[in-house]
Each structure stands twice: as structure tokens, then as C-alpha cells.
Structure 1
């Protein structure tokens, strides 16, 4: 057998499989005893041994009537294979440790007032991330959608949660959940005690309304066209404040308005007609470098079993 053969610079899975067979044969003391351990036939073991010897360019063992024994080269290869398998197991353990002990930071940009949404996907995912990586540093910024997208493109944020208003090149969007909004008035408003069947479109149009000053989709903007808009607010809290004055009507997400509905401080106006749904999405940068913290958060935030 030629000694000029050299094993490839990069070990293949095939090489490692042959070495595992070789180690088992050595530790079992021969081909016959290794059959049970490996759960393959003796002929298959013999073929594997021959393949390994051919790839290494040396005879590793003597087998025949005199029994099984290692050559001097075989003893050295066996020792080297033990070191290799130990290193592989050490590598596997370290990678598993990294998976189980996340480190680093996660910078998130979120549109305001999503904390009261019933699904709580973001909260669930952040809780799961903290459990998996107690040392992970989480930074949350409550900023408008356009700033979230710009910060992700600039690298200032890892991920954002934004309404479906537009799709920018260079960013990856994934649907997260839908949010329902209704038209509300406050307890002091003259529409508050009027029966629903008497609240007509003409009556709605007679009353001052507050509209958002932040970006909205074209589909959402159309719901404000027939309102008598006389005030604007830069966020939902501002909209709620004006509705609670009793001087304005305005749209709010149902999950956000729920507290005031329960306290009898707001009511929905003709919800069958005055309603719309906003789709929220996670957004990340396309072709992002691998980030295990970000990957873990995204995997958890999009779990189907979060309700």
C-alpha cells in the first residue's frame, strides 16, 4: 500500500464516519464484536476499514486467523482519532452552550402604545429571550415608523415593529398581527348617550374630530376623509387625550381604548361602519449578518402559539 497518500486538508463527513468505525473496531477488539455495536454487517465493516486504509495510504490493522491486532501506524491513527473525537465533542458542547447562553444586545424600535394589545407577542418574545440569555442587553426605542426603518438601514436598530404603510428596498418585512381600530367619543361628548341607531353619517360629520399627524396607509387615511378634522396628534396618547376632553371624536385601537370603555369614559360610535384594521410587521435589514440574539427574538416573536 502506497505511503504517498495524504488525507484531504479538510476532513469530510465520510472520513469522520470511517474513523468512528475504526475506533469502534479497535475498542471492541475486532470486526465480529463490532457488528453489534455498529449495527452493520461484518462485510460492511471490512469495506469501511479498507476505504479508510486506502484514504490514509497505510495499513491500520492485521486481521485473519491469527486474530485482530493494530499495526504501529494503526496505534498512532487510533490515538489521533481519539483526540479528534474529543475535539469534536468539545466543539459541539461549546456551540450548545452558546445557544443556551446568549450574549450581546438587542436594539428594538417600536411604534407607540402596542403594550396593551392582547396578543402580547413582543412581550412573550422578550421574556423568552431573557430566559435564554440573562446577560442580553435589551434597548427599546418608541419612535415613529419612518425613524425605525431609517435606523435599521443605518444599523442603529436590529429590528422594528411597524404598521404596514410602505415597503422600502433593503428591508425585510414579516407579518406579525392585525390591530382593529374604532371611532370613539368621550363621556362628556354629546354623542355619548345617543342610541346607536340614531348615529348617522351626517351626524358624525357635524362633530370635530382628531386625526393622527403620523404616517398612515392610504387605506387608513380614507376613513378620515369624511370627518370634520379640526385637531391632530402626533401619537395615540394625544388622540386619546383629545377624545377624553369630550370635544372631539377619533379613532383608537380597540386594545388601547379598552381601559376607558370599561371605566365608562368612552364609547364606540357605530362600530359596524366606523372601523379599520392595521397590519403590523417586524422589519429587519436584508442580508443582515448572522446575529443569534436577533434570530432568537424573531423566532419567538413569530411563534404561532402566542395568543
Structure 2
């Protein structure tokens, strides 16, 4: 009977391993070797060789590549997630050591929920600007991902901080209240209600509405339950697409809808009756490693939050 080849367990990762993992991370994020060439600044042949070296080092097949395209194996997906944690930990160590010299160097990895850039308070934008002024060499990496993914990434160290709506409280996270976001009910040009003045709750139930397919608080969900839900969207941009078709009514944050209202493409429907608030917080991991870059960012964020109104 044949014997299975025994794979020696991987030893302590060194600089060369970290280099290979950084290349692998970029290949996965770019979706293949070709797209990663420009990002990495090395040839496709060099990337292919690096991937072969990494697979040999790990004793695992990480991805399928060829004419059929690029795809991760199940082992490759797990290695990618582990690589994100390892590289974030290495960067956290570097940032911490640099902090001993009272110099802001290193990275800030932040996750943000979609469509917050138009918030009038701009706390995140101003805090990032102040951080960059304090540490010109700081590298800021933003990932636009769903709230649940942000929570997990902050908990396992892939992200230093995140901005999410207050849907639930997890025991492993710290929460810093940022602001409230007001949403109103809208329709667009071409919709029968766009030029209608006398609108009642009963009137609304006759018209198709787009509702969110993402998590909501029970209070916000009850507001949508009164609508005639005939379409859904996984984010606010999707809701806006359907409202702008002129066939649906739906809720959007006022700051996000303002551009279309200003251009006469949308109008709010009885704003005094149909609106709700979503509260947002900045999250960090409880008991995380000391990180001067993160601490400086949170310090600037707190200054903005606690700034008295003039």
C-alpha cells in the first residue's frame, strides 16, 4: 500500500514568509495575478513564483489559476483570513514600537458602513485629517464593508476601528457615540406622488416601496412594515436606484438624498410624519494592544464629538 507524503509543520514565519503573505493578500484582493501586477509593481511571473513558493512553504494548494480564471481553494480562503490577522498583528507591533519614540508611524485600518461620507458633521473625515496632520507618515486604509463584517474584523484584529449603526451591543467592543442620522420617505420624478400634495398613510399603502434587506432595529423595521414592500436592496445606494426609477417610494438618509432633492429629482413625502433616526458609533476592541496611531485618531474624534455648538 502507498503511503501519504508527510508534510512537516510550518515553523516560525520569517521576513520572507511575511513578504509572500503580503503578495498573496494583494493577489486575493485584486482577484488574480494580472490585476495585482500594477498594485504590487512586480511582473506576473514574479507573482506566480511567489505564490508557488508560498504553497510549497505551507504545503497547501491556495488557488486555481489558468484559462478558467483565478479562484481560491477552501484552504486558500482560510490562509487569507489568517494572513490578514497575522499581518495586522505585525503592523500593530510596529506601530506600538514606533509609539515608544512618540512618533506617529504605522497604519490605521478602519471599516466604515456605506454612504456616510455625506454626513454634514463629517466627524470621521475631520478626525482623519487631524491624524494625518499629526503623523504625515501614517498610512490610512479604509474598507467599506457591512456592519457585521466590521464588528468581526475589529474583534479579531484585522481592523483597528470601525463605524457602524447601533443595532446591538457586543461585550468585546467599546462604543463611542458619533451622531444620529435622519431618514425620510422619498419618491422621484415620474412617480404619481411626486406632484401630489394631499398624501395620507392609507394613500402610501397603494404604492410599491423598496425596503432594506440589511439589519435594522425593531423600531426602524416597524416603520418599513407599514409600506407595500415589493422590492428590496442590500444597501442605501440600491434603495436610491429604485426610488430614482420613479416606480418606488422608500426611505433614505436626508444627507444622502440631498443631492437629488436639490436637483429636483426627488422629494420627501410628509417629512414630519414619516422619518426615523439611526444612531452611529465608532467601535474598538476591548483590551486591544496599545496603539499610538489609534489612540491619536480616537483623541481627535473625541474632540470633534465634544466640541460645543457655536
Task: Quickly name the TM-score band, shorter chain normalised.
Answer: 0.5 to 0.7
For the pair 1:239 / 2:239, whether they are aligned, the reply is yes
Aligned counterparts of 2:296 and 2:191: Cα–Cα separation in 1: 47
1:96 to 1:172, Cα distance in 2 relative to 1, 3 A: closer
Aligned counterparts of 1:96 and 1:141: Cα–Cα separation in 2: 24
Contact 2:99 2:105 in 1 (8 A): no
Contact 2:99 2:291 in 1 (8 A): no
In the TM superposition, what is the alpha-carbon distance from 1:302 to its structure 2 partner? 2.2
| Unaligned segments of structure 2, at least 5 residues | 1-97
1:293 to 1:126, Cα distance in 2 relative to 1, 3 A: same
Aligned length: 210
TM-score by length of 1: 0.66
In the TM superposition, what is the alpha-carbon distance from 1:187 to its structure 2 partner? 1.0
In the TM superposition, what is the alpha-carbon distance from 1:174 to its structure 2 partner? 1.3
Aligned counterparts of 1:116 and 1:306: Cα–Cα separation in 2: 21
Give the secondary structure class of the aligned counterpart of 1:176: strand
For the pair 1:194 / 2:201, whether they are aligned, the reply is no
For the pair 1:220 / 2:206, whether they are aligned, the reply is no
| Unaligned segments of structure 1, at least 5 residues | 1-94
For the pair 1:264 / 2:260, whether they are aligned, the reply is no
Measured against aligned partners, the alpha-carbon deviations of 1:83-110 in whole angstroms (never above 9, x if no partner) come to xxxxxxxxxxxx99944x3001000000
Counterpart in 1 of 2:183?
181
Aligned counterparts of 1:301 and 1:207: Cα–Cα separation in 2: 42
Contact 1:153 1:171 in 2 (8 A): yes
1:246 to 1:139, Cα distance in 2 relative to 1, 3 A: same
Contact 1:119 1:306 in 2 (8 A): no
Matches within 5 A, 1:245-260: 245-260=245-260
Q: Alpha carbon RMSD of aligned pairs, Å?
A: 1.6
Counterpart in 1 of 2:160?
158
| Greater radius of gyration (CA) | 1
TM-score by length of 2: 0.66
Counterpart in 2 of 1:280?
280
